[in-house]
Amino acid sequence: MSRKENIINIKVNEKWCEFSLDRDITSNMTLSFLLREKLGLTGLKVSCDEGACGACTVLMDGKAVLSCLTLAVQAHGHEIITIEGLAENDPVVKAFSEQCEPGYGTALQCGFCTPGFVMSTKALLNENPKPSLSEVKEALSGHICRCGCYAGIAKAVLHAGEKLEAGGKKS
């Protein structure tokens, strides 16, 4: 019965990383801790640390998951994408940073929750490139923005979808 793997391999932002259990990581380490403190990927934030705020969202095999409630050892063999893994001109990143619209406002003020929102938006648009406003609200309902930029965030997601569509047409 081989049950205790000693080598943990995780693909982080397109690159496989190898960790040794007990030396690099421990059983009780969360994925959020590993990414932030061991790999320096501090884009994701740990806010509530219990799955209620969405700030630590990363993509695991393309799905939005909470890295604070994922054990690092259980990410073995999986593909993780953090906000650092997105291109600088990623349409979602651009839409969030450019968002400024009378009546809706910006998509961020302090920016603490933004990496989480962006990653959930990536997961949404990968599956559904032209979401309706209610689909956007549903997909992002696991996030909290204490600055209250929800209207701007929803607009940014819709704009990101439009950018993706326009980009697709050009190529």
Partner 1 sequence: MKDFMHFNAYSVDEAVALLSRYGGNAGIIAGGTDLLGKMKDRILPSYPEALINIKTIPGLDQIENKEGMISIGALVTLSRVAEHPVIRKEFTALAEAASRTASPHLRNMGTLAGNICQDIRCWYYRAPQNRFSCLRKGGGRCYAIKGDNRYHSIFGGSVKAGCFAVHPSDTAPALIALNARIITSRRSISAETFFNVGVTHTTALSNDEIVTAIQIPTSAQETRSAFLKFALRKSIDFPIVNCAASITQKNSMVMHARICLNAVSVVPRRAEKAEEALINRTIDETTADEAAVAAVADAKPMEGNAYMVPITRTLVRRAILACREIHGG
Residue from 50, 89, 102, 170 that binds partner 1 (CB under 8 A)?
50
Examine residue 51 and tell whether it contacts partner 1 (CB under 8 A): yes
- Least CB distance to partner 1 at residue 88 (A): 26
Closest to partner 1 by CB, 26 vs 162, is 26
Q: How far apart are the first and last CA of the chain?
A: 51
CA-to-CA separations, 118 to 7, 17, 57, 100, 125, in angstroms, rounded: 31, 24, 9, 16, 10
Binding track, positions 119-138, relative to partner 1; x by CB under 8 A:
-x-----------------x
3-class state of residue 167 by DSSP:
helix
Instruction: Characterise 103 by phi-psi region: left (phi > 0), alpha (psi -120 to 50), beta (else).
Output: left
Examine residue 146 and tell whether it contacts partner 1 (CB under 8 A): no
Examine residue 74 and tell whether it contacts partner 1 (CB under 8 A): yes
Closest to partner 1 by CB, 59 vs 93, is 59
Examine residue 15 and tell whether it contacts partner 1 (CB under 8 A): no
Examine residue 87 and tell whether it contacts partner 1 (CB under 8 A): no
Examine residue 47 and tell whether it contacts partner 1 (CB under 8 A): no
Q: Are 100 and 155 in contact (CB under 8 A)?
A: no
Distance CA 161, CA 129 (A): 6
